Amino acid sequence: MNYKIVNIKENFFENIPKRKQKSLLNQYLKENVKGKDYYVDGEKIIANKYTVGKLNYGITLYDNRIEKNLRKELKANIIINLKEVIENSKIYQRNRKDTKQHIFADTFDRRKSIIKYKEIKYKVMFDVGKKEKINTLYGIEHIKK
Determine the pLDDT at residue 27.
Answer: 96
Q: What is the rounded distance in angstroms from the CA atom of residue 113 to the CA atom of residue 86?
A: 7
Q: What is the rounded distance in angstroms from the CA atom of residue 85 to the CA atom of residue 47?
A: 14
Q: What is the rounded distance in angstroms from the CA atom of residue 25 to the CA atom of residue 12?
A: 9
Determine the pLDDT at residue 140.
Answer: 97
Determine the pLDDT at residue 2.
Answer: 87
- Per-residue pLDDT tens over the stretch 28-79: 999 999 999 999 999 999 999 999 999 999 999 999 999 999 999 999 999 9
Q: What is the rounded distance in angstroms from the CA atom of residue 24 to the CA atom of residue 18?
A: 10
CA-nearest of 40, 43, 38 to 55 is 38
Q: What radius of gyration do the chain's Cα atoms show?
A: 15
Q: Please report which confidence band the pLDDT of residue 102 belongs to, taking 50, 70 and 90 as the band edges.
A: very high
H-state helical runs in the chain:
18-28, 49-57, 68-80, 82-87
Give the domain ranges of the chain.
Answer: 6-144
pTM greater than 0.85 (yes/no): yes
Determine the pLDDT at residue 75.
Answer: 97
